[in-house]
Amino acid sequence: MGSGGDMNASQFLMAVLVMVIGPAHRAPAQTNWSSYLQPGPGILPRLPASGAAVAKRDHIFAVNLSDDRIASNAVVVKILTGEVKPNRIKVTVTRFEPDEVETPGNFLHLPLNPNKDYEERRKAVWTRLNRLGAQLERGMQASANAPWMPFTPEFLVDLGPGEGERGVTVAAEWDTGSIPFEAQTVSVRVDCTPPTIIITNPTEIVTSQPIIQIQGYSGEPLASVRYDVRNATGDQLNQEGYVTHQSVDPISVQITTNFFECVDVDLALGTNTILLRCEDRAGNVRTNTLTYVLGFDFDKTPPVISLVWPQHGRQVAGTNFTPRGRLDDPTARLVGEVSANGKTVVVEGLVERDGKFWVEHMPLLARSNFLMLLATDAAGNESRTNLVVLKSDDVVIIDPVPTEQLWKTAVTVTGRVSPPNQDVWVNGVQAVVEPEGTWRANGVNPGEGGTAVFSVTAIPKPSGASIPAIASNKVGRSDELISVQANLGTNSMTLNATQPACQAFRLRLSGTTGRQFILLASTNLTDWIPILTNLNEGPTFEYEDQNAMGFGCRFFRVVPLP
């Protein structure tokens, strides 16, 4: 094991440290367990001198249990051996008593992981080491008067009454071979109590959403989650839920909290009874009865549409585009309607379980396209969003990203832009654009969730805009006023593409007589939010934003309207 990696401490300690190897008469009566460990990089077991023959021994001895968590007071012990089998064994059972072992001051050196508390990790491993070492010592002491019995590879062991963690120590003797004696301790937890289940969602009994996601957690590992649904349409029996996340206690180095979800549970009008059954690893089952009432009469609130892309007045390259955003009601239906030059196309949207929506492959019918998004919930409430999307004459192409790369947090995205004298940004990462128009962006985050999204923005290099050189104390960040002078043309223009405004932003726009335009702002050159729409009668338009500091560093963009 190298010092640069992490490890599962409980597995390593069980496999390497909880064993005594040597002649029977050398089995220690009083073991100083810390003397078996040598502080230093990594975990270095230091066995007694009698253990030196481990590397060249002519037999194998490994103790395994049928399960490490059971709901009964008996467990099956299995012993793995090589060709040379022990002549006799003895078995003892002791209870874990973690509070009786103090954590030493001289901690083990573990590989440093910046995502974890280093001192807590070291304390946790020492605590576990001392518990296992003390358990083996107690097992060895208890086995002093235990009777020997002929070797058998599999047998049943009585763990005694009550719940809690036990240590099963098996000692073995050989009449022949290089090592006449070995002992190992393995742990098992007796658990006869069903898991405690806490439901976190839905929080309301009465709902107007015909599909719900039941979410909750348990304080211990779960082996299975099942549920039945009973309502006016009949019974749906033995449906499957899923464990979505597990937490690990940094002190005990054991899996503790298990989060689970029952997805897309269909409700019928009226009362719906759900029997939720959660089984822990020991086989104990907890049954919770949940009741949800579906009704629409009280719901008069339409769904809220939060559009992420495109924003009003955005220029889009290509022949089609995919509006995306989020609904506050994931059960609502969404449709998109685009119209231009007397032609209208309607496309059904896709709404995901968390409310994200997509309206795929909406056509760009003309230079100016009028887009309407309509969301309708199960109660019949409607909401609409209207905007204009402009078709660009530029060409922006994204090369396909290999499917196996989409699971990574950072990928390389390539493509082509025409005309080539443009800056290209992919999900907020600036790409390197070659003279012929090919571009490459490294370290691009595909986004969270099950869908990778690559939003590519091509920005013409500044022409007619004057941005003075400004001192900055961070790369790409200005802590002073940015002042821009530009002429309003027929194409959209990002006013400060190379220098975000982190405090004040001042704009003087000429050529605005009788012109209508939109001013937008963005923090990543991808998602733009309209600030104002203006119909100017004079030859110039002046604007100063003193709130840039409150919004963070921002870019500004002007979009002329037809």
Q: What is the dihedral of CA 307, 313, 317, 320, to 10 degrees?
A: 50
Residue 44 has pLDDT above 50, yes or no: no
| Cα dist from 32 to 39, 141, 145, 182, 367, whole Å | 15, 13, 21, 18, 83
Q: Locate the domains of the chain by residue range.
A: 9-190, 197-294, 305-391, 395-460, 482-560
Mean pLDDT lowest for which of 117-126, 404-413, 416-425?
Answer: 117-126
Chain centroid to CA 442: 22
Q: What is the H or E stretch that residue 492 is in?
A: none
- Which range of 32-36, 356-360, 520-524 scores highest in mean pLDDT? It is 356-360
For strand 482-487 and strand 505-510, is the pairing parallel, antiparallel, or unpaired? parallel
CATH classification number, 197-294, choose in 3.40.190.10, 3.40.50.40, 2.60.40.10, 2.60.40.650: 2.60.40.650
CATH 2.60.420 fits 482-560, yes or no: no
Average pLDDT, integer, range 150-170: 90
Mean pLDDT lowest for which of 388-402, 422-436, 462-476?
Answer: 462-476
Alpha-carbon span 77 to 169, nearest angstrom: 10
Percent helix, strand, coil in the chain, to 5, is 10, 45, 45
Alpha-carbon span 318 to 395, nearest angstrom: 7
pLDDT tens by residue, 315-334:
888 899 999 999 999 999 99
Residue 252 has pLDDT above 70, yes or no: no
Inter-residue contact 209 to 331 (CB < 8 Å)? yes
Residue 104 has pLDDT above 80, yes or no: no
Alpha-carbon span 339 to 342, nearest angstrom: 7
Using N-to-C axis directions, what is the helix angle for 9-16 and 118-142, rounded to 10°? 30
CATH classification number, 305-391, choose in 1.10.10.1800, 2.60.40.10, 2.30.30.170, 2.60.260.40: 2.60.40.10
Query: With bands split at pLDDT 50, 70 and 90, how would you rate the model's confidence at 491?
Result: confident
Please provide the DSSP assignment of 398-461 as one string.
EPPPPGGGTTSSSEEEEEEEESSSEEEEETTEEPEE-TTSEEEEEEE---SSSS----EEEEEP
Q: Examine domains 305-391 and 482-560 and report if their fold is the same.
A: no
Residue 280 pLDDT = 95
Q: How many CB atoms lie within 10 A of CB 529?
A: 12
Query: With bands split at pLDDT 50, 70 and 90, how would you rate the model's confidence at 475?
Result: very low
Mean pLDDT lowest for which of 110-114, 233-237, 239-243?
Answer: 110-114
